[in-house]
Amino acid sequence: MNKELIRKRFHKASKTYSSEAIIQNKIAKKLIEEIIVLGERNFDSILEIGCGTGLLSKEINRSFEFNTLNLNDICQIHLEDKSLSELVNYFEGDAETIILPNNQDLIISSSTLQWFNNLESFYSKINSLLSTNGLFAFSSFSKENFIEIKTITNQGLDYISFEENKILLEKNFEILYSYQDIIKLYFSTPKEILVHLRNTGVNAINSPNWTKGKLIQFIEGYEKFYIKDKGYCLTYNPYYFICKKKS
């Protein structure tokens, strides 16, 4: 995983991310809702991994009571909700390698961990940063995510599946909630899909050199994913886990 390329692409997309990230916003809200369903609203200290422009951060501030909110992102952090700026501590850098605050009651992340190189090692790190009864809640993406793009271009992330994640998590955590979903977006043209990917930064992987010939090939290849009366389909395959540190 080229983390520097990822950082550059997400930084470039920071101005368009929030308006374009319809699915990521929906996923962030569901993650928060499921934590509340478990009866959890009050935390002394919260750490968010991969905060981006603050889609999830905003929901945390709106939904939970906390004393300390720590935010991490690989890019320089530019929160859309400026009212959050005075409430938080920032930890810029690659969460897999930088030092992060420990004794956290909730560590949370949405639509981020698919970019990580070694989830088994990262989960062990998360476990060490949690307080005794701390929660680890996150969403990421599974094998069917952007399946159309991968089929046409033969490019894409090597996603870890829902079941593979479950096995890794059970080494350090008790899983309180898990769920996998399929969400489909529809676009008028294949070119609109490329714009959508660019404006959310996820073309850090899905971006061949777009010669005229390759663009024509992409558009022609996408015809098989056209759904009558809906448009050209792009599949998101999110999953959710809420875990408790094993005592």
* Residuewise pLDDT in 10s, the chain (247 residues): 666 666 666 556 556 666 667 899 999 999 999 999 999 999 999 999 999 888 999 999 999 999 999 999 988 777 777 777 777 999 999 999 999 999 999 999 999 999 899 999 999 999 999 999 999 999 999 999 999 999 998 888 889 999 999 999 999 999 999 999 999 999 999 999 998 888 877 654 445 567 888 889 999 999 999 999 999 999 999 999 999 998 7
pLDDT at 9: 62
Tell me, which fold does domain 3-184+235-245 have in CATH? Rossmann fold (3.40.50)
pLDDT at 15: 62
Give me the residue spans of the domains in the chain. 3-184+235-245
SS3 21: coil
- Taking alpha carbons only, the member of 113, 193, 180, 90 closest to residue 146 is 193
**What separation, in Å, do the N-terminal and C-terminal C-alpha atoms of the chain show?**
33
* Cα separation, 183 vs 46, whole angstroms: 29
pLDDT at 206: 46
pLDDT at 214: 85
Output DSSP code: residue 80.
S
What is the total residue count of the chain? Answer: 247
- Please state the φ and ψ torsions of residue 167, each to the nearest 5 degrees: -65, -45
pLDDT at 1: 64
* Cα separation, 17 vs 185, whole angstroms: 16
* Cα separation, 247 vs 242, whole angstroms: 16
